[in-house]
Amino acid sequence: MRREPASTCNCRLAHLLLQCCAARFALSALRNGVVPILLLILQIALLIPPTSHAENSRTLQESPNPVKERSSNKAQPGFYLEIKRSYVRAYAGWQKRAIGLLRAKSFQAFNGDPQYRITESNLVTIEFLKKTSKPTQIISPVFIGPYPSGEVAEKKIPELLSALKPLIDDEKKNDELHNRHLFLVGVVRVKS
């Protein structure tokens, strides 16, 4: 729902009030025998919708060239580490905990929404990676990067697992699946 400026609302309110007064005047004038044509002209003039000063200035200030949107929510091209969890392992809030631990160790971690995944010779390529403020699903992955190459990203995996050790230790305490596949970590390439 679009919210209008106060000046536009005030202008419309004044116009409605004027219409009500004109209608009362027209009724009393008809009862007193005043010429109905003049009243009809007055009513038609009042039915024309008002245009406030704010609306006029807004249309005059619009630029013919559209402003380009910032792409701050778009991940840069490069190689990223992707942390995923299965439905069995996923729970609400795991991404937030993981990102907090990773950022504390200077990893550039974020929630992401990958678009158009393609698997090419053991490497997952993502056409477009959108950074999100919250996970879109309970199994949404966490991304870390970018890195200049897949090899550089792979070399960071032991350091990443070390940063996640407090989370892994907490989850081991109540682990009924005997500690298999707590996290699935892999390298992905983002094209654009």
What would the pLDDT profile of 85-141 be if each residue is shown by its tens digit?
A: 888 888 899 999 999 999 999 999 999 999 988 887 788 999 989 999 999 898 999
Indicate the residue type of 135.
Answer: P
- Strands (E) in the chain, as ranges, are 78-84, 109-120, 123-132, 142-147, 184-190
- Where residue 190 falls among pLDDT bands split at 50, 70, 90? very high
CATH topology of domain 78-190: Alpha-Beta Plaits (3.30.70)
Each domain of the chain, given as residue ranges in start order, spans 6-61, 78-190
Residue 10 or 123, more confident:
123
| Residue 1: half-sphere exposure toward Cβ, Cα within 13 Å | 1
Query: Which of 100, 106, 98, 104 lies closest to 82 in space, CA to CA?
Result: 98
The 10 Å Cβ neighbour count of residue 102 is 22
The 10 Å Cβ neighbour count of residue 161 is 14
